Structure 1
Amino acid sequence: MPIRGGEISSSQGDHVFMKVTPMKGVMRFEKKVKLSPRFIGPFEILERVGTLAYRVSLPPNLAGVHNVFHVSMMRKYMTNPSHVLNYEPLQLTSHLLFEEKPTQILDRQEMRFRNKLIQMVKVKWLDNSKEEATWETESEMRSHYLELFATF
């Protein structure tokens, strides 16, 4: 459950997960398209800054990221000794974004838009399930990820 001002009070020493947003490596309609956000961490809260922001202890690989976050970017971590957390380091930008990479083409179809026929491919992205696969234009995927078409 995300931390919300007034609903959950977090204090120094509590732990939170931080929301990061994956960005696909292809451009669709002149802009990057987002996939489902994920949470990384847990990270320790160092102090409360204002009413809806917290300063968080970040690892050295995130040294370029400002360490004060709004509560909407956090999810409270309830400690449990039986939890085994696998921390997978990500290459994040200063805006907490990382590039998602395609791993497999699952399907192919033709879509008709007015008088134009467009070839589409269904792409499975790294660290996402098949249910989260997205439809992309074949020409755009071929221009960026030609190696995916060797087996399909």
Structure 2
Amino acid sequence: MKKQADGHRKDIQFEVGERVFLKLGPYRQKTVANRRNEKLTPRYFGLYEVLEKIGAVAYRLKLPSAATIHPVFNFSQLRRAIGDYTVNPELPVTLTEDLEVVLEPLELMGVREKEDETNEVLIQWKNLPDYEATWEPYERTK
């Protein structure tokens, strides 16, 4: 049984100076969990340099000075960067220590009435582009 379970596991090690992507969990804030385009949001961020190995499974990364999260991550949150990458999705500005994205409403862009006569408002979120605006139930915005 152990042999079967270990069959899909890999021994992943990163060297100091190697470039890696950082995997962050999906948005955990309940009001934006049902977005239409959540499947299209980036799963990995960065190209960040490994500064040091801490213990058997943890690595310290060189994060931007504006990052507000702890720079030590488990190897399971990292993915080796192979080749040259020019596109660099940045860390979300509103990322907390628990790797949760906290969003603040910037403005209400519209109102619509659904078939069941409940109202929804279109909210533009602070620090996000216009296409990330979401329809939220009016009751949650009070």
Q: Where on the TM-score scale, by shorter chain, does this alignment land: which range?
A: 0.5 to 0.7
Contact 1:111 1:120 in 2 (8 A): no
Question: 1:101 and 1:19, CA in 2 relative to 1: closer, same or farther beyond 3 A?
Answer: farther
The SS at the match of 1:100 is: coil
Which residue, out of 49, 56, 66, partners 1:44?
Answer: 49
Superposed counterparts of 1:105-116, under 5 Å: 105=109, 108-110=112-114, 112=116
Greater percentage in strand = 1
| Alignment partner, residue 102 of structure 2 | 99
Number of aligned residue pairs: 126
Contact 2:21 2:48 in 1 (8 A): yes
Superposed counterparts of 1:125-136, under 5 Å: 126-127=128-129, 129=131, 134-136=134-136
C-alpha deviation, 1:19, in angstroms? 3.1
The SS at the match of 1:139 is: helix
Unaligned runs of 5+ in 2: 1-7
Q: What letter is aligned with 1:120?
A: E
Aligned-pair identity in percent equals 27
How far apart are the structure 1 equivalents of 2:86 and 2:75? 24
Question: 1:85 and 1:134, CA in 2 relative to 1: closer, same or farther beyond 3 A?
Answer: closer
Deviation larger for 86-95 or 51-60: 86-95
C-alpha deviation, 1:121, in angstroms? 4.0
TM-score for the superposition, normalised by structure 2: 0.57
How far apart are the structure 1 equivalents of 2:86 and 2:58? 27
How far apart are the structure 1 equivalents of 2:92 and 2:124? 21
Unaligned runs of 5+ in 1: 144-152
Q: CA RMSD in A?
A: 3.9
How far apart are the structure 2 equivalents of 1:78 and 1:101? 35
Q: What letter is aligned with 1:99?
A: V
How far apart are the structure 2 equivalents of 1:56 and 1:41? 10
